[in-house]
Structure formats: structure tokens, C-alpha cells
Structure 1
Amino acid sequence: MLELHQVRKSYPTPQGRLPVLAGIDLRLAAGESLALMGESGSGKSTLLHLAAGLDTPDSGEIRLAEQALSELPEPRRAALRRHRLGLVFQQFHLVPSLNVADNLRLQARLAGREDSSWSHELLARLGLAEMADRYPEQLSGGQQQRLAIGRALAVRPALLLADEPTGNLDESSADEVLALLLALVKDSGCALLMVTHSPRVAAPLDRCLRLSHGRLSEPPP
């Protein structure tokens, strides 16, 4: 589903280019879940943005659903994101003028992939069915993050990319949101790449890799 081969990325600074990723190799199969851990500033979010085609590497190849992102112009990459990817961030990025139901259906509608029965199932399983007519400002932080997850999954993505999806929540809400996320990912059959700094959050996923000094490695036992 996702493959990175010798991916390198650096950024310009007044002192010269700062290397962030130094030859990353990564494979993620359909239906597999992978936690990406590392210290703040280690490049985890950079890797996620590259995987989503939101940024381009200095060198190396990234393949998403068997398509080389470097060979696609930005409109094609945007279409691939719209149809094959779900994105969940630490910030909820909900549309304040849309109610819960319309926020959840937004990405699927934009992609022309809305499935009303799946949207209703998501609302119910996320505990949001009775709040369908409310607006984001009327929801708790945990409810807003559940809605953001539902929006990403409503399109039935092949790959879900999640950047610290429980980072803004208290421990109890984080555990609840994570359990719902993993159950819905499993049922939908999509692959999951999740960035987290928390070993507790990473533990339920199929695999875990640590990013340090621009390279990936297995975390210590």
C-alpha cells in the first residue's frame, strides 16, 4: 500500500541544509497498522507529509497504491489523496459552519464516494448519532477528534495517516478515541500509519518503528 525507498529530505537553514530524513526505507501492507515514534523534531511529521504527497523528497521514491508520487503532477497527487487517503491530525480541522453529520460526510462528498449507510454507521459507532445536528463548538475535544476520524474514514480510504491523533486529549479520552480508531480501521480494511510519541498509544498497533537521526529502527524491547 505504501512504500518508501531511500527517501531523503533536508531543509535550508542559515548554516546550510539540515538533513531530516537520511535514506528511509519503509513498507506498509494493506490492512497493516504501524506506529512511528521518535523525539520531537525527529522528522516524523515530515515523513507523514511526504507519504501523503503534501511535500516532495530530495531523492528516493515514494509509492502509494502502486503509483510513484514523483511521477504525478500536483493535481493528480491531490486526486489520489482525495480518493485513497484519510488524514487525521492533532488539530481537528473541522468546518465550524457545518454540523456534525455534514462535517463527517465532507471528504467523501468531495471525492464523489459518499456512502450514506457507512456514514450512518460511523456516526453511531463514534457515539455521535444523537449529535448529528450540533456544530463543532458544541462538542468536547474527544468528540471533535472522533468526528475528525469519522470524516477521514467516511471516504473508505486505502491508507489512513494519523499525526498524534490523541495528542490533545486527556488520557481517558485518548484511550477511548484510540480504541475506536483501531476498531474502525480494522473493519474498513485500510492500512494505518500513525505518528505518536507515546509507547502506550503505539502498543496496540501491529508494528512500531522509531525515527532517530534521520533513520528508522526497531524500538528497544
Structure 2
Amino acid sequence: MLELRDVSKSYATPQGPLSVLRGVSLQLAAGESLALMGESGCGKSTLLHLAAGLDTPDSGRIWLADRALDAMNEAQRSALRRHRLGLVFQAFHLVPTLTVSDNLRLQARLAKQEVPDWSVELLERLGLAKYRDHYPEQLSGGQQQRLAIGRALAVRPNLLLADEPTGNLDERNADDVLALLMELVVETGSALLLVTHSPRVADPMNRCLRLHHGRLETIEP
């Protein structure tokens, strides 16, 4: 579902180029979950943005659902994100003027692949059915994060990319949200790449890799 092959990325700084990724390679199969760990600023979010086609590598190649991102223009990458990707961030990025129901259905509607029954089921599974006509500001932090996850899964994406999805939540809410995320990922058959600094969050994943000095290291269970 996702393959990075010998990917490198650096950024210009006043002191010269800063190398963030150095020949990174990984594969992620459909239905598989992978945690990516590492110190703050080590390049975890950079790798996620490259996988989503939001940024381009200096060298190396990236395939998403057997399509080479470097062979696509920005409009094609944007269309691929709408139809094949689900994105969940630490910041919820909910639309404050839309109801809970409309926020959840937003990405599926933009991709023109909404399945109404699935949207209704998601609201129930997320514990948000009775809040369907509320607005994001009327929800707790945990409820807002569940809504953000539901929005990403409404299109039944091939790949779900999550960047510290429980970082703003207390431990109890984080555990609840993570359990629901894993359950829904299994049901939809999505591949999951999750960035976290927390061993507790990484533990349920099928595999765990650490990004260290621009390279990936396997973390044994």
C-alpha cells in the first residue's frame, strides 16, 4: 500500500543544509499498522508529509497504492489524497461552522464517494450520534479527536496517516481513541502509519520503527 525506497530529504538553514532523512526505505501492506517513533524534530512528520504527497523528497521514490508520487503532478497528488488517503493530526482541523455530521461527511463528499449508511454507522461507533447536530466547539477534546478520525475513515481509505493523534488527550481518552482507531482500521482494511513519541500508543501496532539520525531502526517487541 505504501513503499518508500531510499528516500532522502534536507532543508536549507543559515548554517547550511540540514539532513532530516537519509536513505529511508519502508513498506506497509494493506491491513498492517506501523508505529513510527523518534525524538522531537527527528523527521517523523516530514516522512508522513512525504508519504501523503504533501512534500517531495530530494532523492528516492515513493509509491502509494502502486502509484509513483514523483510521476504525478500536484493536481493528481491532491486527487489521490482525497480518494485514497485519510489524514489525522494532533490538531483536529475541524470546520467550526459545520455540524458534527457534516464534518464527518466532508472528505467523503469532496471525494464524491460518500456511503450514507457508513457515515451513520461511524457516528454511532464514535459515540457521536446524539451530537450529530452540534458544532465542534460544543464537544470535548476526546470527542473532537474521534470526529477527526471518523472524517478520515469516512472514505474507507487505503492508507491512514496519523501524526500524534492522541497527543492532546489525557491518558484515559487517549486509550479510548486509540482502541477505536485500531478497531476501525481493522474493519476498513486500511493500512495505518502512526507517528508517536509514546511507547504506550505504539504498543498495539503490528510493527514499530524508530527514526534516528535520519535512518530507520526496528524496535523489537
TM normalised by structure 1 equals 0.99
Query: Is residue 63 from structure 1 mapped to residue 69 from structure 2 by the alignment?
Result: no
1:181-220 aligned within 5 A = 181-219=181-219
Query: Is residue 101 from structure 1 mapped to residue 101 from structure 2 by the alignment?
Result: yes
Q: 1:63 and 1:107 mapped to 2: Cα distance?
A: 22
Q: How much has 1:99 moved relative to structure 2?
A: 0.3
CA RMSD of aligned residues (A): 0.6
State the SS of the aligned residue for 1:70. helix
Look up the match of 1:129: 129
Q: 1:40 and 1:104 mapped to 2: Cα distance?
A: 30
Look up the match of 1:73: 73
Q: How much has 1:220 moved relative to structure 2?
A: 5.4
State the SS of the aligned residue for 2:194. strand
Q: How much has 1:219 moved relative to structure 2?
A: 2.0
Q: 1:120 and 1:39 mapped to 2: Cα distance?
A: 39
Query: Is residue 147 from structure 1 mapped to residue 147 from structure 2 by the alignment?
Result: yes
State the SS of the aligned residue for 1:173. helix
CA gap 1:220/1:183 in 2 versus in 1, 3 angstroms: closer
Q: 1:158 and 1:220 mapped to 2: Cα distance?
A: 26
Q: 1:89 and 1:27 mapped to 2: Cα distance?
A: 22
Could you list the per-position Cα deviations for residues 90-127 of structure 1 after superposition, in whole angstroms to 9, with x for gaps in the alignment? 00000000000000000000000100000011000000
Look up the match of 1:120: 120
Q: How much has 1:218 moved relative to structure 2?
A: 1.0
State the SS of the aligned residue for 2:180. helix
- In structure 2, give the amino acid aligned to 1:151: R
Q: 2:207 and 2:22 mapped to 1: Cα distance?
A: 21
State the SS of the aligned residue for 2:211. strand
Percent sequence identity over aligned pairs: 75
Look up the match of 2:6: 6
Number of aligned positions between the proteins: 221
State the SS of the aligned residue for 2:144. helix
State the SS of the aligned residue for 1:133. coil
TM normalised by structure 2 equals 0.99
State the SS of the aligned residue for 2:96. coil
- Unpaired stretches in structure 2, ≥5 consecutive residues: none
State the SS of the aligned residue for 1:39. coil
Q: Is the 8 A contact 2:208 2:220 kept in 1?
A: no
State the SS of the aligned residue for 1:166. coil
Q: 1:204 and 1:220 mapped to 2: Cα distance?
A: 13
State the SS of the aligned residue for 1:92. coil
